[in-house]
């Protein structure tokens, strides 16, 4: 079964909009795990507009499932990850002012940089993953950089699938097959939702984990957290 990691950035956004501690990020994380999710994901950004760096520390004793911290490996982020020691760190090449991630790494151009960062995290016992597009040469370069996993950037899949273009999944399948042959674990994330997750899962071999935040939180406004988490788990079986 593919694991479900819930990105709780939007919960932090709601909390920050009024100040204080409502909704309680730690309570929500505990509940999501009790509802069956196998992981919690956070993506702190330098401006701390949603997840704060302090949250990453506070969540450590609360997250008993897999703990995934995403972000651009600037010095401050690297210090945070090495201090918290999550299960997994996902390297994402987003700029300081980006609203959301919109591209994977150019692992060919940045291979030396990524190789050094990955070695640093792996030495600390932290599993590494690189956020990446479906370009096969870049997946080969990711493997050469020493990463444990890749996370396929799925916005293009979600957009095309919503238009009825089911063939778009083929490039993701080819990427996943190559990654597996290279000894990499396969994660996926960005714009996956209840409408497209089952089709994606069925067509991507060896899919270890999906990270879903915005869609899952939005769907939960109508259907409730416990119900939505279990709907995802059912589709991922």
**184, 147 Cβ separation under 8 angstroms:** yes
Q: What are the contacts of 62-67 at 24+ separation with CB within 8 A? A: 62/26, 62/29, 62/30, 63/29, 63/33, 64/33, 65/5, 65/33, 65/37, 65/38, 65/39, 65/40, 66/3, 66/5, 66/38, 66/39, 66/40, 66/209, 67/39, 67/40
DSSP type of residue 213? -
Which residue in the list 70, 151, 209, 219 is annotated as catalytic? 70
Which residues lie below 8 Å from residue 81, measured CB to CB, with a gap of 6+?
A: 69, 71, 73, 89, 121, 126
Which residue in the list 50, 190, 209, 219 is annotated as catalytic? 190
- The question of whether 156 is a catalytic residue gets the answer no
**Backbone angle region of 191, left / alpha / beta, with phi > 0 → left and psi within -120 to 50 → alpha:** left
CA distances from 144 to 56, 81, 124, 182, 223 (A): 29, 22, 19, 9, 43
Strand partners, 91: 71, 130
- The question of whether 70 is a catalytic residue gets the answer yes
Half-sphere exposure (CA, 13 Å, Cβ side) for 83?
13
Which residue in the list 43, 50, 151, 219 is annotated as catalytic? 43
- The question of whether 43 is a catalytic residue gets the answer yes
Q: Within its chain, how far is the Cα of 3 from the centroid?
A: 11
Q: Enumerate the active-site residues.
A: 43, 70, 190
């Amino acid at each position: 079964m593919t694991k479900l990691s819930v990105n709780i950035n939007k919960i932090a956004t709601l909390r920050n909009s009024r100040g204080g501690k409502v909704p309680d990020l730690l309570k929500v994380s505990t509940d999501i795990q009790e509802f069956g999710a196998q992981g919690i994901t956070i993506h702190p950004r330098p401006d701390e507009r949603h997840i704060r760096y302090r949250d990453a520390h506070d969540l450590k004793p609360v997250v008993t499932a897999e703990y995934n911290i995403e972000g651009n490996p600037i010095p401050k982020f690297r210090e945070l990850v090495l201090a918290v020691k999550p299960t997994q760190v996902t390297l994402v090449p987003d700029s300081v002012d980006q609203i959301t991630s919109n591209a994977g790494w150019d692992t060919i151009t940045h291979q030396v940089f990524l190789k050094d960062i990955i070695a640093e995290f792996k030495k600390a016992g932290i599993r590494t993953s690189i956020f990446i597009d479906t370009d096969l040469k870049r997946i080969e370069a990711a493997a050469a950089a020493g990463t444990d996993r890749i996370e396929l950037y799925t916005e293009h899949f979600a957009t095309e699938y919503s238009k009825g273009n089911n063939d778009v999944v083929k490039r993701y399948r080819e990427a996943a097959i190559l990654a597996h042959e290279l000894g990499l674990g396969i994660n996926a994330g960005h714009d996956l939702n209840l409408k497209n997750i089952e089709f994606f899962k069925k067509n991507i071999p060896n899919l270890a984990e999906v990270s879903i935040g915005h869609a899952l939180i939005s769907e939960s406004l109508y259907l409730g957290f416990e119900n939505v988490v279990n709907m995802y788990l059912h589709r991922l079986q």
